[in-house]
Structure 1
Amino acid sequence: MKAIVLVGADQPLTLQEVDKPTLAPGEALVQLKAAALNRRDHWISIGKYAGIKYPTILGSDGAGVVVEVAGDAGQEWLGKEVIINPGHDWGDHADHHSKEFNILGLPDDGTFAEYVKVKIEYLHPKPAHLSFEQAAALPLAGLTAYRALFFKGKAKKGDKVLVVGAGAGTGTYAVQFAVAAGCQVFVTSGSGDKIERARQLGAAAGVNYKAQDWAEELKHMAGGFDVVIDSALGPDFVKLPDLMNAGGRIVFFGATAGNIPELPARTLFSKQLQLLGTMMGSPDDFEAMLDLVNEHKIVPVVDEVYPLADMQKAVNKMGNSAQFGKLVISIS
C-alpha cells in the first residue's frame, strides 16, 4: 500500500510503498478515503514531540470503509463507512486518561496511508450528511473542542463563550459547537478575514489579538465571559481572568504561544474562577460529540484538500498557521 512515511526529524515526508497492516483478533482494516492533519502532526514532523520513532506513518484522523475484520466479533462492520476515534486506551476515569492512553499516528502507524488497522471499539459510523473529506476532519479536533466546551467548561445555553484563536481546527469546532448549544460566541484571531469567517459560523463578534487594546475591546463588547476556550496560552493569557464573569471557567489544551505567565491571584479567587486543563476526550465524549454533529447537521470547516502525494505542502501550510479550519488529505 502507499503511505506517507516520516524517516527523521526535519526530513521531508515521503510517499512510499509499505506492507499492508496485518490484523490481530478484535482489529479491523479500514480502507481510508480521507485523512486530516492536526497540529500534532506538524510538531512530530519537525522532531518536537515526545516519544517519536522512525520510520513512522503519521495521521490521527481518518474516514473510510471497513474491508476486513479479524475474528468473529465485529463482522457487522464489514463494508460500513466509518470514522475512527483516535484516542486509544483512555481508561476507566471520565476525569482523566490512563497512563496507557495513546493517540493514533504515534506510536501506532496512522491514517496517512491507503489502509490503517484499529481495534473494532474505535470504529464509529460516518455521519451520513458528511462526505469522507468532511468526516475525516472531525475526530481529534472535534473531540478536543467538545470536551473543552461541555465536559470541562460546562457551557450551556445562554452562556457567553470566548474562543481564542478561532482559525484553528479546534477553534472552528468550538465556535460551531457552542453556537449549536445556544451560547453567545465571541472570538479572537490575528486575521480580520478569519474573524469574519467565524461570524459566518455564528459568532457574534471578534477582535484582532494583535491590537494592543484587544482585551478592553472584548470587555466592551461582551461585558464578561462564562467560558473561555484557549489553545495558545503565552503572555496574553494573563488578560483573561479580568474578562471573566464570576464563577467562570478558562479551559486550555495547548501552548503554541508559550507557558502560562504570572496570573493575578486575587482576581482568580475573588471571582472564584476555574483554570481547567484538558486533552482529547473519553469514548463517551466522542459519542456525545458525534450525537451533537448528527443532531445539528454540523459540517466541519475544510480549508483545503490535498492529494496524498502533496502531504508536505499541507504540513508546511499548517506550520505557517495559514488555514481556517482543517487541512484534509484525499486518499484514492
Structure 2
Amino acid sequence: MKAFVMEAGQYKLKDMPEPQAQKGEVVVKIHDAGVNRRDLGLLKRYGDNPEALIIGSDGAGVVESLGEGVTAFNVGDEVIINPGLRWEQNSDAPPAGFDILGMPDHGTFAEKIAISAEQLEKKPAHLSWEEAAGLALPALTGYRALFTKGQLKKGDTLFIPGAGSGVATFLIQFAKNAGATVIVTSRSEDKLAQAKEIGADIAIPTDSDWVKELEGQTIDLVIDSVGGATFNRSLDVLKKGGRIVIFGATTADNVDFNLRSFFYGQYQLFGSTMGSREELRDMIQHIEQHDTHPVVDRVFSLDEAQEAFDYLAEGKQFGKVVLRASE
C-alpha cells in the first residue's frame, strides 16, 4: 500500500506492507487523514532512523477487517480514529504511557491502518469524510482546553491569539455553541474575516495595541498556543482573576513574566494537552448536538503530502489541511 513515512532522515512516499488485524485490532481503510502541526516536527525527533515509520495522527475511514475478539465494530462501519493512546478517563494530566498516534506507532498517512478497536469511534453522520478526517486531535485539544481546563460558561468572553489554526476554528465554534463572546487576532485580514464568518464577535490585527482595541471588554479566559510572542500581551488584556490556558508554543517555548504582577492579579494558569477518550466522546456528542462542521481549508492527495506539509508550515491555512488517501 502507499504511505507517507519518515525514513533515514527524510519524509517520503513509499510502498509499505498492508497491515493485518491482530487480536483486538481492526484494519481501517483510510479515506482521509488530517495533517497537524505536530507532524511537521516529527522528523527532528526521529532523526536518521533507517526504519520507515508511517506518520499521521488523525484519520477517518471504513472498517475493512476484524481481528480476533472484536465485537464493537463490523466490517463496513464508518469510523474516526482517536489519536490519543492509553488515556481513557478524564484526569488532571495524561497518565503514564500516554502517547499520540503516528510516532512511535504507525499512523494514518496511508491507505490502511491496523489499530486497536479501542481507538475507534463511529463517524458522526453529519460530517463529510474530509471534515471527519481532521476532527479528533484539534477538536479534542480545543474541547479540553476550553471546557475541562478553561471552565468556559455561558456569558464568558474568550480571547484567542491567532485565528487560523485548526484548533482555533474549533475553539471559536465550541465557544459560540456554549453562549460565549469570542475575540480573536490574526495578521491576515482574510483570516479575521473568516473568523467572523464562523462566529467570532470581534477580530483585531495581531500587531495592533490589544489593550486599546479591547478597552471596555472583560476577558474571562485566554486560550493561547502561540507562546512567547503573545503570552504577556494576553495577560495584559485578561481580567484580574482570569484564566489562561496554554496548549502550544509555536513561537517560543520560554517566556519571562512578572511574578509580582501575576500573583497580585490572582491570575490562573493552566497547561493542556490533547484529551482523554471520555472527553473525545463528550466532544463528539457536542458537535452532533450543535450540528458543528469542522472548517476544512484544503484537501491534498496522499501523493501531495509534502506539498501539504509545506502549505501548513507557511501558515497559509484557515482550518484543517487534509490528505485524501483513497476514494
Residue 68 in structure 1 maps to residue 75 in structure 2 = no
Aligned match of 1:36: 34
Letter matched to residue 7 of structure 1:
E
Using the alignment, how far apart are the partners of 2:48 and 2:265 within structure 1?
Answer: 42
Quick check: 1:91–1:101 contact (8 Å CA) kept in 2? no
For residues 1-332 of structure 1, the aligned pairs below 5 Å read: 1-9=1-9, 11=10, 13-45=11-43, 47=44, 49=45, 53=49, 54-74=51-71, 76-90=73-87, 94-211=91-208, 213=209, 215-220=210-215, 223-332=217-326
Using the alignment, how far apart are the partners of 1:218 and 1:70 within structure 2?
Answer: 57
SS of aligned partner of 2:53: coil
> Shift of the alpha carbon at 1:260?
4.1
SS of aligned partner of 2:307: helix
Provide closer, same or farther for how the CA distance between residues 99 and 35 of structure 1 changes in structure 2, counting only shifts above 3 A: same
Q: Cα deviations across residues 139-179 of structure 1 (Å, max 9, x unaligned)?
A: 10011000000000000111000111110111111111111
> Shift of the alpha carbon at 1:92?
5.6
Give the stretch that moved more between structures: 157-166 or 261-270.
Answer: 261-270
> Shift of the alpha carbon at 1:121?
1.2
> Shift of the alpha carbon at 1:224?
2.4
Provide closer, same or farther for how the CA distance between residues 88 and 219 of structure 1 changes in structure 2, counting only shifts above 3 A: same
SS of aligned partner of 2:284: helix
Quick check: 1:145–1:173 contact (8 Å CA) kept in 2? yes
Quick check: 1:36–1:328 contact (8 Å CA) kept in 2? yes
Quick check: 1:233–1:255 contact (8 Å CA) kept in 2? yes
Provide closer, same or farther for how the CA distance between residues 171 and 3 of structure 1 changes in structure 2, counting only shifts above 3 A: same
Letter matched to residue 234 of structure 1:
G
Provide closer, same or farther for how the CA distance between residues 266 and 77 of structure 1 changes in structure 2, counting only shifts above 3 A: farther
> Shift of the alpha carbon at 1:98?
1.6
Using the alignment, how far apart are the partners of 1:110 and 1:76 within structure 2?
Answer: 20
Unaligned runs of 5+ in 2: none
Using the alignment, how far apart are the partners of 2:212 and 2:169 within structure 1?
Answer: 21
Q: What RMSD over aligned residues (CA atoms) do the two structures have, in Å?
A: 1.7
Using the alignment, how far apart are the partners of 1:303 and 1:192 within structure 2?
Answer: 16
SS of aligned partner of 1:255: coil
SS of aligned partner of 1:266: helix
> Shift of the alpha carbon at 1:75?
5.5
Quick check: 2:31–2:324 contact (8 Å CA) kept in 1? yes
> Shift of the alpha carbon at 1:290?
0.4
Using the alignment, how far apart are the partners of 1:65 and 1:234 within structure 2?
Answer: 41
Letter matched to residue 32 of structure 2:
A
Using the alignment, how far apart are the partners of 2:266 and 2:71 within structure 1?
Answer: 48
Quick check: 2:88–2:277 contact (8 Å CA) kept in 1? no
Task: Using structure 2 for the length normalisation, give the TM-score.
Answer: 0.95
Give the stretch that moved more between structures: 196-205 or 64-73.
Answer: 64-73
Letter matched to residue 2 of structure 2:
K
SS of aligned partner of 2:260: helix
Letter matched to residue 3 of structure 1:
A
Using the alignment, how far apart are the partners of 1:180 and 1:189 within structure 2?
Answer: 22
Using the alignment, how far apart are the partners of 1:92 and 1:66 within structure 2?
Answer: 25
> Shift of the alpha carbon at 1:20?
1.0
Unaligned runs of 5+ in 1: none
Using the alignment, how far apart are the partners of 1:254 and 1:327 within structure 2?
Answer: 18
> Shift of the alpha carbon at 1:195?
0.9
Using the alignment, how far apart are the partners of 1:75 and 1:182 within structure 2?
Answer: 35
SS of aligned partner of 2:230: helix
SS of aligned partner of 1:233: coil
Letter matched to residue 246 of structure 1:
K
Using the alignment, how far apart are the partners of 1:15 and 1:50 within structure 2?
Answer: 16
Q: Cα deviations across residues 168-203 of structure 1 (Å, max 9, x unaligned)?
A: 111111111111111100001111110110000110
Letter matched to residue 6 of structure 2:
L
